[in-house]
Amino acid sequence: MSYKIAVIPGDGTGPEVVAEGLKVLEVAASRTGFTVELTNYDLGGERYMRTGETLPDSVIEEFRQHDAIFLGAVGHPDVPPGVLEQGVLLKARFALDQYINLRPVRLIPGVETPIKNKGHKEIDYAIIRENSGGMYTGMGGNSRPGTKDEVAIQEMVYTYDQVARCLRYAFEYARKYGKKARGVGENNTLALIGKSNVLTHMYKLWNRVFAEIGDQDYPDIKREYYHVDATCLYMVASPEMFDVLVVENMFGDIITDLGAITQGGLGVAAGGNLNPEGVSMFEPIGGSAPMWTGKNAINPLAAIGAVQMMLDHLGETEAASLIEKGIAHAVSKMKSMAANEMGMGTDAVGDLVADFVARG
């Protein structure tokens, strides 16, 4: 097999972590017998300041000709906040209809969690964030802006189809990767996260579709429902109760940052923006970390984890599992997952994983 991968190193520490991800990707490819054809895309703050462009439509069209996209980070201290986030990241998600944001919350053995008395057996679940709707649609507006009569409206918007396709993906995921499927629990459980006690219109729809699809096509999946505020509490106090969570876009944005810190922080948390029928984009969840740029101090494991997810998604499961083991090996040699506290450089962490993948 040969895969065409679009690479967006992006801003700040993005290029440094992407380099380590690609180093591991090349080794995994030659070790397990596939090839990759990489196309580099110069997108991000520098390009914006040079040309005023964020993500041209012609590039979106080129992305469609690829098997996957690997993104480092966007966000530049000299560009107003929101320009690159919306112009590159959100534009790619929307234009390619990457309607799932898959963010596993798995504590790698050996990684420290800030939660007392919890380890990798307890912190072992996945969050499926709806990635195309909700408050991210940009619907709303401001009337009489700049006056004391200003009214601001930002709507939470979902269609039946958006909810249904997200829930279907989540049910399928629970069937394939739930705790029973992985041999670590009695059930495959899907929990819908919402706020049905306040957002009554919205959760009338989500709850109905959840029950309908579940009853009809996924009677083998155990269903649960939790309010999003209570979910935050449980993610800290008893994360072992979770298996697969499915959540609307904005709530998902918030709780996946909480999930990331419980799994060891932004240095290790990876995610995938998925269009199961199209082109998906994989990224470390952390941002561009400008203060660590060019210092060989940033943790590349999240980016390497994104490569692992990308290969899993492409069906290269042997390569993905080698990388997973390589990451665990690197963790056993590192002092910390925090930038500048790893006890070694960014490149040395990449070497540890790559060497393991080459030999392991």
- Footprint of ligand IPM (CB under 6 A): 85, 89-90, 253
Round to whole Å and give the CA distance between 313 and 173.
12
Answer whether 237's CB lies under 8 Å from 190's CB: no
Of 23 and 91, which CB lies nearer to ligand IPM in the complex structure?
A: 91
Question: Edge-to-edge, what's the strand order for the sheet holding 189-194?
Answer: 35-40, 2-10, 68-73, 280-284, 270-274, 100-106, 124-130, 244-247, 189-194, 222-227
Q: How many CA atoms lie within 13 A of 240 on its CB side?
A: 11
Nearest approach, Cβ of 61 to Mn ion (angstroms)? 27
Round to whole Å and give the CA distance between 208 and 90.
28
- 318 is a contact residue toward Mn ion (CB under 5 A): no
From ligand IPM, Mn ion, none, interface partner of 337 (C-beta below 5 to 8 A by class): none
From ligand IPM, Mn ion, none, interface partner of 318 (C-beta below 5 to 8 A by class): none
Of 15 and 178, which CB lies nearer to ligand IPM in the complex structure?
A: 15
Of 259 and 326, which CB lies nearer to ligand IPM in the complex structure?
A: 259
Q: Which helix (H) or strand (E) holds 252?
A: helix 249-262
Nearest approach, Cβ of 90 to ligand IPM (angstroms)? 6
Round to whole Å and give the CA distance between 160 and 162.
6
- 253 is a contact residue toward Mn ion (CB under 5 A): yes
Nearest approach, Cβ of 270 to ligand IPM (angstroms)? 11
From ligand IPM, Mn ion, none, interface partner of 85 (C-beta below 5 to 8 A by class): ligand IPM
- Which of these ranges, 83-91, 102-110, 249-257, 307-315, lies near Mn ion under the rule CB under 5 A? 249-257
Dihedral, 206, 211, 212, 214 alpha carbons, nearest 10: 110
From ligand IPM, Mn ion, none, interface partner of 79 (C-beta below 5 to 8 A by class): none
Interface residues with Mn ion (CB under 5 A) are 253
